[in-house]
Amino acid sequence: MKTLLVTVATACCLLMTVGAVSADHQNHQETFQAANSHYASGEYDMALKLYQRLADANNVHNPVLFLNLGNAYYRTGSMGRAIHSYRRGVRSGTQDTRILESLDQNIEVARAQLSDRYRSGSENRQFIFEDATGMLYTVTHVIERGLLTTLFLVFWCMFCVALILRRIRPHLKGVGVSALTVGIASLLFGLMLVGQILSSDETTLGVIVSPEISLQEAPHREANGQDIPEGLEVKVLEQREEWTHVELANGREGFVPTESIAEL
């Protein structure tokens, strides 16, 4: 009887969870459609509020949402916010080539607008943060981590099986050579995996979203500073309540107001 009650209670909890998820999904769809209607009517501010509400929700990784959110920011003149939204769409993990192309094209358009604003020429790569990669990174990232992990596990299991066979069937031909071969392969894949983990850059990037910002030498308003453009990608070194320590692509470090940067 107790088991039956536990089973019924568990089933009820699962149904409630599924129902809550379904309700949230329906609410998100309705909000998204309402935002699209406002955008189509030229009511970009209203559309922006609804898109942003969805983007701020947990477990929302819809690249189309970030594309539309970026478009709404672009229409309202917030180029930094637009680039940040497009970049979030690119990082959402979508495999839809059409969406990715639209996101990349819109990023380039927004960067071109900023280049014209800051009279920095036609080269838009100045807005991109790129880390220099060493030999270790290059060698260990030849194979994607998921595939590399699978290869390591498969060859390690084969190596263990070969060792067991060699022990229980010592006179079986070719077992020793096979064990040595798969052992070397598993060792190489293991070293690549460890090297990939060690060399992987867990960098947090951010985008400057305010139009008039200076890179301060110290975390206070009176410090000397250098103007930096909206839409610039920076590496986030440390984030505090009021100031964020960042690094530019050229290696220069400084501080910007936390409210002026949006993390990717």
How far is residue 258's CA from residue 264's CA, in Å, rounded to a whole number? Answer: 14
Q: Are 199 and 139 in contact (CB under 8 A)?
A: no
Residue position matching structure tokens 């920011």: 73
- The continuous run of DSSP H or E covering 180 comes out as helix 175-199
**pLDDT computed for residue 136 by the predictor:** 61
Tokens of 33: 């459609």
Q: Give residue 59's pLDDT.
A: 66
Contact 193, 152 (CB under 8 A): yes
- In order along its 264 residues, the chain shows pLDDT tens digits of 434 333 333 334 434 444 444 556 678 889 999 999 999 999 999 999 999 999 988 666 789 999 999 999 999 999 999 999 999 998 887 888 999 999 999 999 998 888 887 765 444 455 665 544 455 656 776 787 788 899 999 999 999 998 898 888 888 888 888 888 989 999 999 998 888 777 655 568 899 999 888 999 999 888 998 888 899 989 899 998 999 999 988 888 999 999 999 998
pTM: 0.64
CA dist 90 and 107 (Å) reads 10
